[in-house]
């Protein structure tokens, strides 16, 4: 071959790898997406630390959907376990609750375990999230009731399956144009067990027991997060805005007061107890004065949700019975899950390749959503 011809070959771009039948390639935000041909008109709608989300039209149903591409799912065993857990959780929870996001499809464009590197989750499309809704316009008290009620209704279902979401925050609450909400993103969700990791929830919505290195926390961390969201809906701003870990804890104590001795005795960490005792004693704020102008029933619920001691916070089911939701609460329209999340695999200490193999095998199982979710009855 002539030198000029060799130079042309070396400088030409590498041909992309042929795609599996039924897939197509599209570049989005400097990233290559390879998705099923049924998902058309893709456009980006969000990006986070662990994933990127696009909206698309499902050409088989005509409905808008959300496609979530997991970012670097096999970067480490932690990332791989998170991907495995999210897929398993969504498959189980996609059943009969209108306030939990539905998994419509899950797939990979890769055709072998050796090439396996991409995971896509397809869920129902939500026009916005609660974070944007709070920023766009004031929210009326009736709307606050409806939004918080639905979050708790979804959590009742999730918690009844023995699952903790662990990342309840406004940006993980999808909102439709008619104020129907769905709890999104189960990347940090997991089953309740004896000892839990402290890496949960974006800081502003993180419960004090997690900040205090309370390794035996439970579903009540999600309840605290709902209290933070309720306060944000009432005021239009984040309640516990800490600059760092300690500042966040100090902000909580300045509003909710110093823990009493009953709660102090439950804190496992000597360092955490010593730190609290080194601080001035803070009296709990008068919530009626602190949240001036708010519905007194909302304030009463808020005090219960934001109790420092998780054992004295209500469960999601108990919170739904609060008078603040009197026009919404219907026990026969607040479903619980018909099974417990009991996957023992996620408790194993596996390397990245082992998790990768498990996820690949999971994606080979044909999936169709086994649910029939009807809109919540608010009549």
The predicted-structure confidence for 191-202, as pLDDT tens digits, reads as follows 876 556 555 557
The segment(s) of the chain belonging to CATH 1.10.510.10 are 128-325
- Binding-site positions read 68
Domain 23-125+344-364 listed as CATH 3.30.200.20: yes
The tokens describing 125, both together, are 């499309």
Do residues 122 and 103 lie in contact, with contact meaning Cβ atoms separated by under 8 Å? yes
Q: Which residues contact 26 (CB under 8 A, 6 or more apart)?
A: 32, 33, 35, 42
CA distances from 211 to 29, 113, 244, 302 (A): 36, 40, 11, 20
The tokens describing 6, both together, are 């060799």
What's the CATH fold of domain 128-325? Transferase(Phosphotransferase); domain 1 (1.10.510)
DSSP, residue by residue, 111-172: -STTT----EEEEE--SEEHHHHHHHS---HHHHHHHHHHHHHHHHHHHHTTEE-----GGG
DSSP, residue by residue, 40-86: EEEEEEEE-SSEEEEEEEETTT--EEEEEEESSTTSSHHHHHHHHHH
Cα gap 178→367, rounded to integer Å = 30
pTM for the complete prediction? 0.90
The segment(s) of the chain belonging to CATH 3.30.200.20 are 23-125+344-364
Name the residue among 52, 82, 47, 89 with its Cα closest to residue 67.
Answer: 52
The residues annotated as belonging to the active site are 185
pLDDT value of residue 13: 54
Cα gap 188→190, rounded to integer Å = 7
Cα gap 144→136, rounded to integer Å = 15
- CA distance between the termini of the chain: 79
The tokens describing 139, both together, are 């929210």
Do residues 129 and 293 lie in contact, with contact meaning Cβ atoms separated by under 8 Å? no
The tokens describing 373, both together, are 């979710």
Please provide residue 215's backbone torsions phi and psi, each rounded to the nearest 5 degrees. -85, 0
- Binding-site positions for ATP read 68
pLDDT value of residue 201: 57
pLDDT value of residue 11: 46
Q: Which residues of 113-138 are buried (b: 16+ CB within 10 A; e: fewer)?
A: eeebebbbbbbbbbeebbbebbeeee
Do residues 323 and 79 lie in contact, with contact meaning Cβ atoms separated by under 8 Å? no
Name the residue among 218, 175, 178 with its Cα closest to residue 194.
Answer: 218
The tokens describing 154, both together, are 């979804």
pLDDT value of residue 291: 95
pLDDT value of residue 9: 46
Mean pLDDT in order along the chain per 10 residues (379 residues): 48 68 93 96 85 94 95 93 93 83 95 95 93 88 97 96 94 92 90 62 83 81 97 93 87 94 87 90 95 96 96 97 97 91 86 97 89 54
CA distances from 116 to 28, 57, 113, 250 (A): 20, 25, 5, 45
Axis-axis angle for helices 77-93, 352-364 (nearest 10)? 30
pLDDT value of residue 325: 98
């Amino acid at each position: 071959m002539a030198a000029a011809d060799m130079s042309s070959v070396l400088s030409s771009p590498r041909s992309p790898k042929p795609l599996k039948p039924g897939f197509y390639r599209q570049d989005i935000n400097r990233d290559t997406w390879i998705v099923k041909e049924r998902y058309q008109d893709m456009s980006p709608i969000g990006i986070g630390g662990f994933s990127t989300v696009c909206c698309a039209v499902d050409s088989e149903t005509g409905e808008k959907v959300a496609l979530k591409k997991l970012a670097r799912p096999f970067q480490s065993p932690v990332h791989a376990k998170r991907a495995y857990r999210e897929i398993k959780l969504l498959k189980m929870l996609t059943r009969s609750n209108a306030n939990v996001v539905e998994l419509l499809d899950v797939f990979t464009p890769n055709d072998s375990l050796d090439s396996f590197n991409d995971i896509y989750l397809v869920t129902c499309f939500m026009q916005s999230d609660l974070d944007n809704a709070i920023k766009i316009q004031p929210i009326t008290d009736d709307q606050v009731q409806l939004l918080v009620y639905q979050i708790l209704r979804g959590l009742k279902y999730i918690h009844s399956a023995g699952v903790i979401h662990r990342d309840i925050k406004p940006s993980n609450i999808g909102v439709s144009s008619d104020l129907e909400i769905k709890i999104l993103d189960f990347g940090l969700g997991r089953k309740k067990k004896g000892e839990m990791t402290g890496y949960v929830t974006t800081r502003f919505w993180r419960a004090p027991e997690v900040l205090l290195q309370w390794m035996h926390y439970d579903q009540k961390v999600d309840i605290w997060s709902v209290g933070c969201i309720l306060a944000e809906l009432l005021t239009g701003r984040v309640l516990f805005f800490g600059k760092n870990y300690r500042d966040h804890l100090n902000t909580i104590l300045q509003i909710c007061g110093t823990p009493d001795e009953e709660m102090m005795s439950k804190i496992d960490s000597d360092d955490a107890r010593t730190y609290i005792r080194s601080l001035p004693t803070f009296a709990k704020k008068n919530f009626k004065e602190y949240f001036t102008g708010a519905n007194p029933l909302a304030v009463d619920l808020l005090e219960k949700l934001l109790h420092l001691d998780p054992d004295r916070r209500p469960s999601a089911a108990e919170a739904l019975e609060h008078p603040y939701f009197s026009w919404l609460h219907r026990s026969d329209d607040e479903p619980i899950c018909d099974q417990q999340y009991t996957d023992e695999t996620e408790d194993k200490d596996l390397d990245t390749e082992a998790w990768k193999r498990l996820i690949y095998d999971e994606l080979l199982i044909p999936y169709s959503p086994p649910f029939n979710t009807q809109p919540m009855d608010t009549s």
